[in-house]
Structure 1
Amino acid sequence: MRDLAAGIRYLGKGQRWVARHGRWWGFGLIPALIALVLYGAVLTVLALFSGDIAAWATPFADGWGAPWQGLLRGLFVALLFAGALLLSVLTFTAVTLVIGDPFYESLSEQVEKDEGGCPEGADRPLWREIWIALCDSVHVLLRAAGFGILLFALGFVPFLGQTVIPVVGFCVNGFFLAVELTSVAMQRRDIPVRERLRLLRGRKALAVGFGTPVVLLFLIPFVAVVLMPGAVAGATLLVRDLLPADEQEPEEMRAQAPQPGY
């Protein structure tokens, strides 16, 4: 319970940090707004062509009379749009982090400087940083999708599927969202994605306490845009306390450091 409460506090600390640094909050809004426009455009196109998609996907209903054809295709459109909205919520953070890699890297560095020192990141070109962030996000999303399929199947279990499974689902999504948000500070330390997952699995309650409230808040329209800068700031503070002092420097720099006795 202590770690769970600590995770929630990190989210609050991050939001307070950006509230005290309004310029950085505005700076961090830019990639989230870009992602919001992209998602809005895709969902608008989907809404415009959803009827055609429903007709294409249900050719067996072409000869059905009213009202059954309309009910079937209306249900298909509703499920299609609901699935698209859920996918948008699950992928919004990953897409925003990839789009805003240089933005959130700068914001995260400033948070660390305010906290007493920022580790110097590995010397890589911007395109390489974005490529690593994209590959890491795909890796995390594939793992999350595996759990999502399992939880979807368990959702058909009577009683458990309507009570316990949704709660577990939010916690699982919260854990993976915490992995995504901490990736900015972790990547600066040159910690590979599998090691990030191992570190956060060792403190599951901390990751769930931080990520699950973010998942719930991100379900509210436009809230994800407003809270994104503070979520990155809070994740940076979490990483600083999660890692031992000797792991704060990037792996490449630790490897180059002189060893005792030499």
Structure 2
Amino acid sequence: MSDLLLGLRLYARGAGMVLRSPRLLRLGALPALVTALFYLAALVVLVRYLGDLVGLLTPFATTWSPGARDTAEVVVGIALVAAVALVSVLTFVAVTLAVGGPFYEKLSEIVDDTVGTVPDGPGRSWPGSVRDGLLLVGLSVLVAVPLFVAGFLPVVGQTVVPVVAALAGGRLLVLELTAPALERRGLGFASRRRVVRSRRALGWAVGVPTYLLCLVPLVGIVAIPIGAAAATLVARELRGEPTGLPSHRPAPPARGEPSPH
């Protein structure tokens, strides 16, 4: 079974677990709802002033012909929206997980306990959640800047850039969403990054759907707990633990980390 197909099946399993369990849904949705209200207000402001922002970014086109000026404004507008969307989704998840750290830690434990055993690890501290959230925000900005610049390129900016943004966003999201489960298994940030990178397609299969769903206002309230549940299953797969689904191959432990067996 390919990692992409396996990841999609794990995502579907995580979605089923959350949507069938009012407890899991409440645990994951409450922090996301609080954060979403603030982000929704910010989105309204962005939409209201998008035309003004595009105008500020395209002073070079004021002397161009109407057709060329309109084209430049559309290209810049799409590039701006893609960059803002990437940063917004990743910061939304980071803020939600930081605010609701204990909620998502508990959600991850319940998922772990449902499909197997809960490792007797240190768990994730609230300061650790905030620290990693800030790191995720910083990484998202670093990714968004070159994507914004690339968005000025005709055709490429309107086709390739959104796809790259979704893949980059999905990768960063799954890194953060797997954090509670992997930290419970004794993996710090560097080790988590190596483990997730070892099977990129598996991470994308969970991270990209979560990223795309979070682009839809208020849908992120449900998308984040689903992504968190699915990411816990991904963490188990990455560590060679049972997930309730067949795995096509065991995953080696991260370099310098003990074997899970």
TM-score under structure 1 length normalisation? 0.74
1:123–1:192 distance in 2 versus 1, CA, 3 Å: closer
User: What is the letter of the counterpart of residue 143 of structure 1?
Assistant: L
Q: Is the 8 A contact 1:3 1:206 kept in 2?
A: yes
Structure-2 residue corresponding to 1:93: 93
Take 1:137 and 1:190, find their aligned partners in 2: how far apart are those partners? 18
| In the alignment, structure 1 residue 197 sits paired with structure 2 residue 193 | yes
Alignment partner for residue 215 of structure 2, among 211, 215, 219? 219
Alignment partner for residue 131 of structure 2, among 135, 138, 149? 135
User: What is the letter of the counterpart of residue 142 of structure 1?
Assistant: G
SS at match of 2:217: coil
1:41–1:168 distance in 2 versus 1, CA, 3 Å: closer
Structure-2 residue corresponding to 1:7: 7
Gaps of 5+ in 1: 61-74, 255-262
Gaps of 5+ in 2: 60-73, 242-251
Structure-2 residue corresponding to 1:68: none
Structure-2 residue corresponding to 1:16: 16
- Bigger CA drift: 110-119 or 236-245? 236-245
Shift of 1:182: 0.8
Please list, as runs of the form range in 1=range in 2, the aligned pairs for 1:33-52 lying within 5 A after superposition.
33-43=33-43
Structure-2 residue corresponding to 1:168: 164
Take 1:133 and 1:247, find their aligned partners in 2: how far apart are those partners? 23
Shift of 1:166: 2.2
Q: State how many pairs are aligned.
A: 234
Same amino acid, percent of matched pairs: 38
Q: Is the 8 A contact 1:8 1:213 kept in 2?
A: no
1:169–1:120 distance in 2 versus 1, CA, 3 Å: same
Q: After TM superposition, what 4+ stretches of structure 1 lie above 6 angstroms from structure 2?
A: 45-48
Structure-2 residue corresponding to 1:67: none
- Bigger CA drift: 150-159 or 20-29? 150-159
Q: Is the 8 A contact 2:105 2:123 kept in 1?
A: no
Over aligned residue pairs, what C-alpha RMSD do you find?
A: 3.7
Shift of 1:15: 0.7
Q: Is the 8 A contact 1:119 1:189 kept in 2?
A: yes
Structure-2 residue corresponding to 1:237: 233
Shift of 1:241: 0.9
Deviations 1:158-178 (A, max 9, x none): 433332232122111111111
- Name the structure, 1 or 2, with higher relative contact order (CA <8 Å, separation 6+): 1
Structure-1 residue corresponding to 2:153: 157
Q: Greater helix share, 1 or 2?
A: 1
